[in-house]
């Protein structure tokens, strides 16, 4: 079963790589048709990617949300699906693929190369609150990735001229779209923290225990708060807001992926590279 998953994931990575190359070429040679092909390859890539996730789900007997192997596959699939859905609704967002697709295949490749051991899920993990918690963590990641991607585009647009950058909406609209996705990310992040807290209370008796991931999620949430406050109340727009959006994304990535590699945490099961439950 693991072999089929790996084949599917590498097939998806291959398709995403082709998609990225096409995005880059479409930018360099000013070819809109190539950009459409790039998006088509990305769409096709999500199929083996999704099959890999389903195979893992069947093999593990639980939703794939433990360890880097499962987390990276589901997070990247959701952010790809998020992006592809958005660009189908608003074609002006299509150039975002040049950031979203490579970030996704790099994360997926990092996951595929980590431990593939199936972990038994403790009974306390089998609750709806955990499902809500995990789902919204992934959605928050997806929304923030797109928000930060748009912020990066905004900054690039100020400094460079390129075909892809010109395809994007006006700077004002790009800036506002970035704010919109960061705002949606904040909503999802809030739901993620709340659901996690309620689950922790029902499972272990403490709604908050200053666990490293908990605290870093709170820090990311506070930085979101600073970003939104500065935008809303102090009229921060443009470059300053874009840099802050990138910082927020950086802290969020650290809270999601970096913490368990540094601190011992009750979230160890989620990304423990050795794949052991203590």
Interface residue list for other proteins (CB under 8 A): 120, 122-124, 126, 170, 172-173, 175-177, 179-180, 183-184, 186-187, 190-191, 194, 197-198, 201-205, 207, 210, 212, 215-216, 218-219, 222-223, 225-226, 229-230, 232-234, 263-264, 277-278
Contact 117, 193 (CB under 8 A): no
Q: Residue 47 or residue 238: which is nearer to other proteins going by CB?
A: 238
Q: Residue 103 or residue 146: which is nearer to other proteins going by CB?
A: 146
Q: How far is the CB of 263 from other proteins (least distance, A)?
A: 7
Q: Residue 46 or residue 66: which is nearer to other proteins going by CB?
A: 66
Q: How far is the CB of 153 from other proteins (least distance, A)?
A: 15
φ, ψ at 164 (rounded to 5°)? -65, -40
Q: How far is the CB of 244 from other proteins (least distance, A)?
A: 12
Q: How far is the CB of 136 from other proteins (least distance, A)?
A: 10
**Crossing angle of helices 97-112 and 32-60, rounded to 10°:** 30
Q: How far is the CB of 225 from other proteins (least distance, A)?
A: 5
**Crossing angle of helices 238-253 and 212-234, rounded to 10°:** 170
Q: Residue 50 or residue 212: which is nearer to other proteins going by CB?
A: 212
Contact 87, 39 (CB under 8 A): yes
Q: Residue 18 or residue 191: which is nearer to other proteins going by CB?
A: 191
What is the torsional sign of CA 31, 21, 52, 111?
negative
Q: Residue 272: which residues within 8 A CB-CB, separation 6 or more?
A: 67, 260
Q: Residue 24: which residues within 8 A CB-CB, separation 6 or more?
A: 98
Q: How far is the CB of 176 from other proteins (least distance, A)?
A: 4
Q: Residue 145: which residues within 8 A CB-CB, separation 6 or more?
A: 79, 100, 103, 249
- Which pairs count as long-range contacts for 234-238, CB under 8 Å and 24+ apart, including other chains? 237/175, 238/154, 238/171, 238/175
Q: Residue 218 or residue 246: which is nearer to other proteins going by CB?
A: 218
Q: C-alpha dihedral over 3, 16, 243, 151, to 10 degrees? A: -140
Q: Residue 106 or residue 173: which is nearer to other proteins going by CB?
A: 173
**Crossing angle of helices 32-60 and 2-28, rounded to 10°:** 160
Q: How far is the CB of 21 from other proteins (least distance, A)?
A: 32
């Amino acid at each position: 079963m693991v072999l089929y998953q790996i084949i599917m994931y590498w097939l998806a990575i291959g398709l995403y790589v082709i998609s990225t190359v096409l995005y880059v070429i479409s930018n360099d040679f000013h070819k809109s048709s190539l950009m459409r092909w790039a998006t088509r390859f990305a769409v096709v890539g999500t199929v083996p990617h999704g099959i890999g996730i389903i195979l893992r789900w069947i093999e593990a007997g639980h939703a794939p949300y433990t360890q880097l192997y499962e987390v990276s596959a589901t997070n990247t699939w959701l952010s790809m699906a998020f992006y592809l859905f958005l660009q189908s609704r608003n074609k002006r967002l299509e150039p975002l693929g040049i950031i979203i697709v490579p970030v996704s295949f790099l994360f997926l490749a990092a996951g595929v190369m980590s431990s593939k051991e199936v972990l038994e899920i403790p009974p306390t993990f089998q609750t709806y609150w955990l499902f809500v918690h995990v789902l919204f963590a992934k959605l928050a990641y997806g929304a923030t990735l797109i928000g930060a991607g748009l912020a990066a585009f905004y900054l690039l647009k100020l400094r460079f001229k390129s075909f892809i950058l010109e395809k994007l909406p006006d700077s004002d609209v790009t800036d506002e779209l970035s704010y919109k996705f960061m705002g949606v990310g904040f909503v999802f992040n809030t739901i993620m923290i709340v659901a996690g807290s309620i689950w922790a209370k029902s499972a272990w008796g403490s709604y908050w225990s200053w666990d490293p991931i908990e605290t870093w999620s709170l820090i990311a949430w506070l930085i979101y708060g600073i970003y939104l406050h500065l935008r809303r109340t102090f009229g921060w727009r443009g470059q300053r807001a874009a840099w802050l959006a990138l910082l927020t994304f950086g802290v969020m990535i650290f809270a999601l992926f970096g913490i368990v590699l540094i601190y011992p945490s009750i979230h160890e099961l989620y990304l423990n590279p050795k794949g052991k439950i203590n």
